[in-house]
Amino acid sequence: MTHAFARLQTANYGDLTAAQQDRFDALMREADTAGTGTAYNAAMVDAALVAGLPVPASKDIARCSCYTDAGGCGCDLIFDSHQDGVVVTAVNDPGFNLSQLQCPTCGHDHPRPIAD
């Protein structure tokens, strides 16, 4: 008997065309301000599809916070935000949905977790 391991699906923001990046950014802003429920899920599903990702079961994706954080490595990975090893670098602001997250690789190699 062999065991097949599920390959985690990711994309790189820098590999998207300018139009795809603009649409992805707009959808992530929409998800951030959508509240919860149908509008949030629809924005996340559409953002995943724009990035070329299969929609994760969590319906939550993120771009690594290292892309824009001062002192970050510039990682632009788009990933399922419910993977093991994801590190929260900043919680969401009141009235918003999305926290800042490091991908599992960056979270392992150079974690910058939120300070308590």
Tens-digit pLDDT profile for the chain (116 aa)?
A: 444 434 458 999 999 999 999 999 999 999 999 987 899 999 999 999 999 999 999 899 999 999 988 778 999 999 999 999 999 999 999 989 999 999 999 999 999 888 65
- pTM over the 0.85 mark: yes
CB 101 within 8 A of CB 62: yes
| Strand ranges in 1-116 using DSSP code E only, listed in sequence order | 11-12, 61-63, 77-80, 87-90, 100-102
3-state SS, residue 40: helix
